C-alpha cells in the first residue's frame, strides 16, 4: 500500500464494513468534528481505492445527489490481512449493496447513529446493536451466513410449525447505575410489504406481528441474556414507518392484533426531526394516547434534535 493508514483511517474502513453504506452526515455523527477534514480523509481513501463513493437516492438538495460511501475490495483485503475481518467473511458481506436496497439500509443506519447520540445525551446508558448484516456478529450458520440475529424456532402441537424471520436489528440498552438492560427489536418499514395477506399472512406486516408475539409469549427472546449478560423480562418491538399515513394504517393493525402492548411505532419524519429519545413512540398502536419515550425516566427533559448533538 502506497501510504500508511492512520488509526482513524482504519476505524473508518471498519465502520463501513459494519454499516455497509453511509452518508457523510452519518459518518460525521460517529466522528464528531469539522466536516471538511472528514471529507478530505474520505477523498484520500477513495483515491487509494480503499473505499467507493457513489451517488445515492437519499435525500439531498436538487441537482446535488447525496454521496454514498462503502468499502472497496482493497479496503476489505486490508482489514482481512490485518485480522480485523475474519477470512471466513466474503466481500459480498461487507461491500456495496444494490441501489434498490440502499434506502432501507440507510434508514437503518440513521437509527443506529442516533443510538450513538443517545449515549452522549444520557452517559449512564450503554447501547449495543446487533446487525444481521454485520461481519462482526457471530454466525449461527456458517454455510448460510446467518448471524445470531436470525430467528428460527418451532411452535404449535408437537412443534410442527416454524417461525423464521430476521429483524433489521436487535439492541440492548443498559443503565450502568441500575445494572438493568432493556431489549429492543427494530423493524424499518419502507411501505413495500402488504399489511395482511390472504395466504396465511405470508410476507405481510400481520405475519411480522404474529412472529414477534410468538417470540414474546414463548420467551424466545431470553436467548439474548447470554449475549448481553443480563436478565430480561420481555422486550420492545420498534416499528419505524416511512410516512405518517403508513403509521396510521399499521397502528390500526397493531391495535387490532393483541397482545400488542410491547410494540411501539413512530414515523421517519419524527425520528429525524426529534430523535428516537423523544416522546415520539405510540405503544400498542394507540394513537389516541400520548406518545412516550423509549428511554422512560432517562428521557431528556427538554427537546434535543439530532442536529443539536455534536
108-122, pLDDT tens digit by residue? 999 999 999 999 999
Whether residue 163 is contained in a domain is answered as yes
CA dihedral angle for residue 236, residue 238, residue 239, residue 245, rounded to 10 degrees: 90
Which three cell numbers mark 222?
Answer: 431470553
CA distance 57 to 14: 24
Q: Is the pLDDT of residue 200 over 70?
A: no
CA angle, 214 as apex, 199 and 127 as ends, to 5°?
Answer: 120
Examine the domain organization and report whether 174 and 303 are in the same domain: yes
* Residue where one domain finishes, among candidates 98, 125, 155: 98
Whether residue 2 is contained in a domain is answered as no
Examine the domain organization and report whether 271 and 158 are in the same domain: yes
Examine the domain organization and report whether 118 and 94 are in the same domain: no
Q: Is the pLDDT of residue 199 over 90?
A: no
pLDDT band at 58 (very low <50, low <70, confident <90, very high): very low
Q: Total structural domains in the chain?
A: 2
Whether residue 1 is contained in a domain is answered as no
Examine the domain organization and report whether 187 and 84 are in the same domain: no
CA distance 124 to 121: 9
Task: Write down the residue that cell numbers 457523510 correspond to.
Answer: 24
Q: Is the pLDDT of residue 310 over 90?
A: no
Which three cell numbers mark 218?
Answer: 414463548
Q: Is the pLDDT of residue 2 over 60?
A: no
Q: Is the pLDDT of residue 96 over 50?
A: yes
Examine the domain organization and report whether 179 and 76 are in the same domain: no
pLDDT band at 47 (very low <50, low <70, confident <90, very high): very high
Whether residue 167 is contained in a domain is answered as yes
Examine the domain organization and report whether 118 and 39 are in the same domain: no
Task: Write down the residue that cell numbers 395477506 correspond to.
Answer: 197
User: Is the preceding omega at residue 183 within 30 degrees of 0, hence cis?
Assistant: no
Examine the domain organization and report whether 177 and 245 are in the same domain: yes
Task: Write down the residue that cell numbers 446535488 correspond to.
Answer: 64
Share of the chain above pLDDT 70, in %: 91
Nearest to 224 by CA among 280, 168, 148, 296: 148
CB 276 within 8 A of CB 294: yes
Which DSSP letter does residue 85 get?
Answer: S
- The pLDDT assigned to 48 comes to 96
CB 111 within 8 A of CB 186: yes
Whether residue 194 is contained in a domain is answered as yes
Task: Write down the residue that cell numbers 408475539 correspond to.
Answer: 213
Q: How many residues are there in the chain?
A: 310
Examine the domain organization and report whether 194 and 207 are in the same domain: yes
Whether residue 137 is contained in a domain is answered as yes
Range of the domain at 244: 103-308
Examine the domain organization and report whether 154 and 116 are in the same domain: yes
Q: Is the pLDDT of residue 220 over 60?
A: yes
Question: Computed over its alpha carbons, how large is the radius of gyration of the chain?
Answer: 20
Examine the domain organization and report whether 118 and 77 are in the same domain: no
Amino acid at each position: 500500500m502506497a501510504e500508511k493508514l492512520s488509526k482513524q483511517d482504519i476505524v473508518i474502513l471498519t465502520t463501513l464494513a459494519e454499516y455497509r453504506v453511509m452518508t457523510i452526515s452519518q459518518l460525521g455523527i460517529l466522528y464528531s468534528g469539522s466536516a471538511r477534514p472528514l471529507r478530505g480523509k474520505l477523498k484520500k481513501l477513495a483515491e487509494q481505492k480503499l473505499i467507493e463513493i457513489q451517488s445515492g437516492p437519499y435525500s439531498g438538495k436538487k441537482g446535488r445527489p447525496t454521496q454514498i460511501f462503502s468499502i472497496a475490495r482493497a479496503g476489505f483485503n486490508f482489514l482481512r490481512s490485518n485480522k480485523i475481518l475474519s477470512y471466513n467473511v466474503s466481500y459480498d458481506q461487507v461491500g456495496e449493496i444494490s441501489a434498490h436496497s440502499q434506502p432501507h439500509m440507510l434508514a437503518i443506519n440513521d437509527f443506529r447513529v442516533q443510538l450513538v447520540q443517545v449515549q452522549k445525551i444520557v452517559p449512564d446508558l450503554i447501547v449495543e446493536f446487533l446487525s444481521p448484516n454485520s461481519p462482526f456478529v457471530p454466525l449461527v450458520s456458517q454455510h448460510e451466513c446467518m448471524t445470531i440475529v436470525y430467528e428460527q424456532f418451532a411452535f404449535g402441537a408437537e412443534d410442527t410449525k416454524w417461525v423464521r424471520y430476521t429483524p433489521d436489528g436487535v439492541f440492548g440498552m443498559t443503565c450502568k447505575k441500575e445494572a438493568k438492560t432493556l431489549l429492543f427489536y427494530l423493524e424499518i418499514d419502507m411501505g413495500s410489504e402488504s399489511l395482511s395477506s390472504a395466504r396465511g399472512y405470508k410476507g405481510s406486516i400481520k405475519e411480522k406481528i404474529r412472529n414477534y408475539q410468538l417470540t414474546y409469549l414463548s420467551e424466545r427472546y431470553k436467548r439474548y441474556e447470554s449475549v448481553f449478560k443480563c436478565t430480561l423480562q420481555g422486550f420492545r418491538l420498534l416499528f419505524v414507518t416511512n410516512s405518517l399515513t403508513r403509521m396510521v394504517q399499521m397502528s390500526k393493525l397493531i391495535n387490532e392484533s393483541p397482545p400488542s402492548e410491547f410494540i411501539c411505532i413512530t414515523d421517519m419524519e419524527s425520528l429525524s426531526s426529534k430523535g428516537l429519545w423523544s416522546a415520539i413512540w405510540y405503544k400498542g398502536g394507540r394513537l389516541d394516547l400520548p406518545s412516550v419515550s423509549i428511554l422512560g425516566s432517562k428521557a431528556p427533559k427538554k427537546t434535543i434534535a439530532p442536529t443539536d448533538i455534536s
